[in-house]
Amino acid sequence: VNSELDILTAGIALRSGELSAMELTRACLTRIDEVDAAVNAFVDVYAEEAMAAARQAQEEIARGLDRGPLHGIPIAVKDLFDVAGHVTAAGSQSRADALPSAEDAHSVGLLRKGGAVIVGKTHTHEFAFGSTTPQTRNPWDLDRVPGGSSGGSAAALALDTCLMALGTDTAGSIRMPAALCGVVGMKPTYGRVSKSGIVPLSWSLDHAGPLARYVGDAAAALQVMAGHDAKDVGSHQSPVPDYLGRLGDGVEGLTVAVPTNHFSENLSPAMRAAHQESLAVLEGLGAMVMPVELPLAAAYMGATFAIMMAEASAYHRDRLVTHGELYTEDVRTLLEAGLRMPAVDYVDAQRARGLFQAEWHDVLSRADVVVVPTLPTSAALADSSVLQITDSHAESIMNSYVRLSCPANLTGLPALSVPCGVDAHGLPLGLQIIGRPFDEATVLQVGAAFEQATAWHRLRPPSPQTYRRSALR
Amino acid sequence: MGHADSQRPMEPAATDERTRASAASADLLANLSAELDPLLVRMRELHLGESAVAAVFDANRGANE
C-alpha cells in the first residue's frame, strides 16, 4: 500500500476507476503477509471475507452506488469490538472459548454499511486494561512497546497494512499508541460514537474512535461512525456535523490554550522541545497561544484510577471467580485491587469529574482548543516497567502513559493525537489537541492545519526487510 | 463435611507453585498499592463542596423494552 495514499485520494481513484477496491484490499493483505510476522499487530486476518467485500464494493462503485468516504477502503478492527461471525477474545485467554459474535458492534456495522472492507482484527492489551499490548511490537523498534491498549491498530497503520483501524480509549488507549507508533488517533466526545458491541473496561470513561495515518482519514472515519445508538445508554442525540468540510480552514484567529502546570511537568527533553516547536508552528499559522492554569490537575490520576479500577472490577467480578487463572498476572492484580477500592473513593471520583468539567469549560470558554503533549516521552523498551524520562526523573509506564491523556476521559472532551516529532532514537512523539464538547470539527481542523504545515506524518518505520531480519535474530 | 477430594493434601510441587504464585501476586499488589495510594490521597484532598454525582434516574427505562 502506498504510504502516501490517504482515504479521500483513494476514494477519488476508486470512483474514477484508476484503482479498484480489490486491488487496494489485495495490496493490504499482501503487506500484512510481508510485515506482520515480526510485529504481530493482527490477531486474525479475514482474507477471503475481505476480498468478497472488496468485490462487492467494486461492483457497487462501478454501477454508481456511493456509500460514502469509506466505500471500498480496507480497515482493521481492535479485538474488543464484535465482528459478526468472529470471536471477540479481547486479548484474553479467558475468552478463548467465547462463541463467535452474532452481530457487529454498532460502530463496526456503520463502517460496514458505509462500504468499508474489514481485513482483520488487531491485538489489544488484555481487556484493554494496560498500556503496552505485549503481544505486539513497535514497528519503529521491535524491542519497544507499541503502547496500548489499541497497540495492534496503531502498529498496523504504521506498517501501511490498512487505511484506518478502530480503537477504544479509557485513559488514552487510542491516542497513546497512536503517538508511540507515529500515527493519528482520535478520541471523540463521550457519547459521540456508540459503544454497544464493545467489551467494556470502564463504562463511564470508555470511548470508541478511529486511528488513521492522516487527520483527514480520521475525520472521514468519524463521519461514518458517529451518531446516536439507543443500545448505548451514554450515546448522545445531537446531530453529527460535517467533519471534512472544515479541514482546510486553518488556525488563523483561533486561540490555543497551553496549561502551565501538569502537562508541562516531567517531560523528556525531546518532547518538551517538540511541544514548543509545535506551538510555534501554530502561532506561525496565525493562532494565538494563551497560557492557562488547571488548579485541580493533581487529582486527575487518582480519580481516573478510582473509577477505572472500580468499574473494571465490577464487570470482571464473576469471570475472575470462574476464569481467574486465565487472566494475565498484571491485569488480574489490577482487578483484584479494584475489588478493594473503597466505594467512597469511587463516588468522590465521580463527583470530582463535575469539578474537572467546570475547570475545562472555563478554559475552553476562552480558547478554541488546548494543545499539549500526548505523552511525556516516546516508546518504552518491552522488558521495562519504568521509563527514565529525564536524567533526574524516572516513572512507571502505568503512570507516565496515562497522566496526560486521562483528563480528556474524565471530562469526556474530544482529543486528537498527531505526530509532532521524533526523539534522539528516532522514535515518534505525539501532540494532543483537546476541544470543546462535540466540537470534533475544530479539533480536526487544528490537527489538519498542523499536519499540512509539518512533515512528521510522512515518516515511516524501517523497511520490511529489516523486520524480517530482526525477527530472525 | 466437604467432598472427599477436598480433603486430599496437595502434591508438594503444586503447593510450592501456588505459594510462589501467591507471593508474586502479593508483591504485585503491594507495588500497585504503593503507586496508587498517593494518587488517591491527592484526589481525597480535593474540596468537593456540594458537588453531587450526576446520576439521572429514568423511571421509564426498560418499560418498553
What residue spans of A367-472 are helical by DSSP H? 397-400, 406-411, 440-453, 464-472
Between these two residues, A238 and A3, which has the higher pLDDT value? A238
Active site residue A173: yes
b/e code A228-265 from CB counts within 10 Å (16+ = b):
ebeebebbbeeebeebbeebeebbeebebbbbeebbbe
How far apart are the CA of A268 and the nearest CA of chain B, in angstroms? 21
What are A143's three cell numbers? 524491542
- pLDDT at residue A103, rounded to an integer: 98
- pLDDT at residue A465, rounded to an integer: 55
Q: Which parts of chain B sit beneath pLDDT 70?
A: 1-22, 54-65
How far apart are the CA of A435 and the nearest CA of chain B, in angstroms? 22
- Rounded CA-CA distance A123/A43 in Å is 6
What is the pLDDT confidence band of residue A463, given thresholds at 50, 70 and 90? confident
User: Residue A351 is nearest to which of B24, B33, B48, comparing CB atoms?
Assistant: B48
Of the candidates A316, A323, A109, which has an alpha carbon nearest to the alpha carbon of residue A203?
Answer: A316
pLDDT 10s digits, A239-291: 999 999 999 999 999 999 999 999 999 999 999 999 999 999 999 999 999 99
- pLDDT at residue A62, rounded to an integer: 97
Q: Does A339 touch chain B (CB under 8 A)?
A: no
- Please check whether residue A437 is in contact with residue A209, taking contact to mean a CB–CB distance below 8 angstroms: no
DSSP state of A379: P
- pLDDT at residue B20, rounded to an integer: 64
Of the candidates A132, A140, A137, A209, which has an alpha carbon nearest to the alpha carbon of residue A174?
Answer: A209
Active site residue A196: no
How far apart are the CA of A28 and the nearest CA of chain B, in angstroms? 41
Sheet strand arrangement including A184-187: A42-45, A117-122, A74-78, A164-169, A207-212, A184-187, A415-422, A428-435, A369-373, A255-259, A288-292
Under DSSP, is residue A36 helix (H, G, I), strand (E, B) or coil?
A: helix
Is the predicted pLDDT of residue A133 greater than 80, yes or no?
Answer: yes
- Within 45-74 of A, beta carbons closer than 8 Å to B belong to none
Average pLDDT, integer, range A409-437: 97
List phi, psi (to 5°) of B37: -55, -45
- Rounded CA-CA distance A400/A268 in Å is 11
Average pLDDT, integer, range A224-229: 97
Question: Strand A184-187 and strand A415-422: pairing?
Answer: antiparallel
Cβ distance of B35 and A398 shorter than 8 Å: yes
pLDDT 10s digits, A9-29: 999 999 999 999 999 999 999
Of the candidates A156, A394, A417, A212, which has an alpha carbon nearest to the alpha carbon of residue A146?
Answer: A156
Q: Which one is catalytic: A173, A235, A268, A313? A: A173
- Please check whether residue A52 is in contact with residue A74, taking contact to mean a CB–CB distance below 8 angstroms: no
Peptide bond just before A131 cis, omega within 30 deg: no
Is the predicted pLDDT of residue A468 greater than 80, yes or no?
Answer: no
Cβ distance of A302 and B39 shorter than 8 Å: yes
**Bridge partners for A381 per DSSP:** A144
> How does DSSP assign chain B, residue by residue?
---HHHHSPPPHHHHHHHHHHHHHHHHHHHHHHHHHHHHHHHHHTS--TT--------TTTTTT-
Q: For cell 495515518, name the residue.
A: A213
A155-158 CB contacts, 8 Å cutoff, 24+ apart: A155/A39, A155/A41, A155/A122, A155/A181, A156/A32, A156/A36, A156/A41, A156/A42, A156/A76, A156/A122, A157/A76, A157/A181, A157/A183, A157/A211, A157/A212, A157/A213, A158/A182, A158/A183, A158/A460, A158/A461
Average pLDDT, integer, range A429-434: 98
Of the candidates A140, A228, A235, which has an alpha carbon nearest to the alpha carbon of residue A183?
Answer: A140
Of the candidates A122, A427, A414, which has an alpha carbon nearest to the alpha carbon of residue A271?
Answer: A427
What residue spans of A205-268 are helical by DSSP H? 215-225
Cβ distance of B46 and A337 shorter than 8 Å: no
- pLDDT at residue B2, rounded to an integer: 35
- pLDDT at residue B4, rounded to an integer: 38
Active site residue A149: yes
Q: Global pTM?
A: 0.94
Between these two residues, A407 and A97, which has the higher pLDDT value? A407
> How does DSSP assign A156-200, residue by residue?
HHHTTS-SEEEEEESSSTTHHHHHHHT-EEEE--TTTS--TTB--
Cβ distance of A301 and B39 shorter than 8 Å: yes
pLDDT 10s digits, A39-79: 999 999 999 999 999 999 999 999 999 999 999 999 999 99
- Rounded CA-CA distance A429/A421 in Å is 5
- Rounded CA-CA distance A338/B2 in Å is 31
What are the CA-CA distances from residue A101 to residues A85, A89, A121, A200 (Å)? 5, 10, 13, 15
pLDDT 10s digits, A358-386: 999 999 999 999 999 999 999 999 999 99
User: Picking from A175-184, A220-229, B20-29, which range would have the lowest pLDDT averaged per residue?
Assistant: B20-29
- Rounded CA-CA distance A157/A160 in Å is 5
User: Picking from A150-154, A410-414, B14-18, which range would have the lowest pLDDT averaged per residue?
Assistant: B14-18
